[in-house]
Chains A and B, each alone.
Chain A
């Protein structure tokens, strides 16, 4: 066990990850529609600033600016032949920021979804997905990422392909999925089904969990679902700073720093070890989260009622784990 994240996890019982990437980059002038990954080459100082914002706010770990850095996504910007370079740069800039600190800071190489749908309904095959993720993984490894960080995945097939790619690159990895549809991923996976899948992987992640999704409340319900399986594997919670609201022609996330501080402490009580934010989570949120994690004592595992009372209601009645799973009354003569 020689990787930096495993070593850090041995000495600490919680770690704080980072917050939003996109929201911050837009604030720095990234034009909507442009690929953020191109800035690794064109605006390296701004990317270093992005990483520093998180580290200065107390993050132990930050994700590189490479979420859409696979060939399928970069193709939309005609940059599919720059996968290796843009990922290498994303990690190199991160390495420089992290190594200047006098405490260990983990550079996690972000790998987001391909955006394609798997066959037979879509065109993506396992082999193709592995190949795309592998190319990205090699770039991040070359740039010096400590760990690869697969995130916002919906399809179990895609998660498995990413796992294999990380293995091919010989890298430790973490992987989170987005539970945004009635408490499940878009493809219907429940939190507990994810645990089952993760534990069956030949090259399992160092930590697994949930990111993005709907709001902080839903995310914690998912974490409770993970924890209920009794898994020993560290759980990651990276929730959005509330829900976006449209007010007077502007959009802002309704999660205040105070709410995100509450969320961070509750995430830890729910069983999460690596806690961060996602969309809308800015430096001021991270500062409040870090302070809360450091100063507030651990408490009992919250109930769903505690969560909705403190963080707001859930987006759906249940998360697919209860008895409520109604099935259609059918003739049932074909498949029994």
Chain B
């Protein structure tokens, strides 16, 4: 370990080095460094949207992949998401001002009858870390609370979580209600929770089952991209 290990001066790095450093710093969950680097890039004339996508989201993608692959675990990921939020809090007002495209908004909650919320909280934190807006409905949500919140918030995504085999079928109730009301295709429906699997997600008519929080983020990004492409077409 060399003496000058801690002597990185972020402002002296060129853009490529700085964004690479940001990815390392996100990986290490260094919030203050991320905030400083975000300000430096703004000063250099980067658009808020470029900083978000090319530095922060790109860095969180690496974190997400390593989480998915069993190299990083929840504590490291939460620290990284927290560092990301530091950068986001600087960018958020600027993104709105500059009319940058939104990453997307998700209404998320544990389904009716289920009081388990750790998994749901992790997904919410990581989605926020990836730049999504999150409306957290908490535990024990009947179909009405999902649909009212989704309409009120003009959400793109409805996320449902369940830990119990006895409560996971309720996800189908929510999706069936959406079909009855003719609003199923207005939202991307993602489901997750320990006892679920892909087969179940398909069987109940969800857009996707997400194995863990990292997969949820990647899946959400994919669907949002597709949605934008459809609108553009």
A-to-B contact residues, CB < 8 Å: 22-23, 26, 31-33, 35, 68, 73, 76-77, 115, 117, 121, 154, 180-184, 186-188, 244-246, 249, 251-253, 279-280, 316, 320, 325-328, 330-336
Interface residues of chain A: helix, strand, loop or mixed (majority) = loop
Contacts of B222 in A (CB 8 A): none
Interchain CA distance A188-B21 in the complex, whole Å? 25
Interfacial chain A residues near B30, Cβ < 8 Å: 334
CA distance A330 to B71 in the complex (A): 14
Chain B contact residues, majority secondary structure: loop
Instruction: Annotate B73-94 by CB proximity to A: 1 below 8 A, 0 otherwise.
Output: 1111011001000000000000
Which A residues are CB-close (under 8 A) to B73?
Answer: 181, 184, 186-188
Contact B194 A336 (CB under 8 A): no
CB-based A-B contact count at 8 angstroms? 106
Interface size on B, residues (CB 8 A): 50
Most A CB contacts (10 A, CB to CB) among B21, B69, B194 go to: B194
B12 interface hit (Cβ, 8 Å): no
Chain B residues with CB under 8 A of A325 = 71
Q: In the complex, what distance in Å separates the CA atom of A299 from the CA atom of B118?
A: 40
Is there an interface contact between A334 and B1, defined as CB atoms closer than 8 Å? Answer: no
B224 to chain A, nearest CB (A): 26
Which listed residue, A121, A326, A328, A331, touches B75 by the CB 8 Å rule? A121
Which chain B positions have C-beta within 8 A of A336?
1-2, 5
B183-209: which residues lie under 8 A (CB-CB) from chain A? 194-195, 197, 199-200, 203
* A181 with B70: CB separation less than 8 A: yes
- Interchain CA distance A331-B23 in the complex, whole Å: 10
Q: How far is the CA of A77 from the CA of B140 in the complex (A)?
A: 11
Question: Which residue of the partner chain, among B2, B74, B76, B165, contacts A251 with CB atoms under 8 Å?
Answer: B165
With most chain A CB atoms within 10 A of its CB, the pick from B74, B79, B200 is B74
**Chain B contacts of A335 at CB under 8 A?**
5, 28
